[in-house]
A and B are shown apart, each in its own frame.
Chain A
């Protein structure tokens, strides 16, 4: 495993919800990343945002780690859930909420 792979693996396993994004949760630098931030904030989910623009190795490494060519990427309990389109669709269908509940992640409005 390369160093960057190890770094990513460590990050997704050490926090319940991790968002690899462009920019930071407080200041997203891409509309797609911003949409996922809005959804997570709306749900009141605690998550760790990791700015891929801060490191070129990370920006490329994350695409290989998940075999997913675009950013943002959301991980829950170490598992890749989706990019912007998938997260938005899941949220609108309330599947994201179900997925978080299944994984034992606290969010607003959880039963």
Chain B
């Protein structure tokens, strides 16, 4: 929703592409939705993201394992200031809402 893609957004997108070779991928900055919920969030930063990803790597992988794989890949970003990561992972044959 930002006019320009932020540095963290671009870095996460590249990592996800390289690691999962996704058929579909959306990295959405939702920081503006959380403005004010903590004093340091003014909504213009890169604090809250939603990741939607379809990859054959997720086939046969339980939900927790999918989330862990993404959380581990993006551990650096999570430690460095990404405060919330909503994750919607799917294998290619699964129904998605997007």
Minimum C-beta distance from A67 to chain B (A)? 7
User: A70 vs B88: C-alpha distance in the bound complex, in angstroms?
Assistant: 15
Cα–Cα, bound, A89→B34 (Å): 22
Q: Flag whether B63 is at the interface (Cβ < 8 A).
A: yes
Binding stretch for chain A, among B1-9, B15-23, B53-61, B67-75 = B67-75
Secondary structure class of chain A's binding surface, majority of residues = mixed
Q: How many residues of B contact A (CB 8 A)?
A: 14
Tell me if B67 and A86 are in contact (CB < 8 A). Answer: yes
Chain A 67-97 interface 0/1 with B at a Cβ cutoff of 8 Å (1 = within): 1111000000000101111100110000000
- Which of chain B's residues have a CB closer than 8 A to the CB of A86? 63-64, 67
Task: Known contacts A82-B63, A84-B86, A86-B67; decide if A69 and B37 are in contact (CB<8 Å).
Answer: no
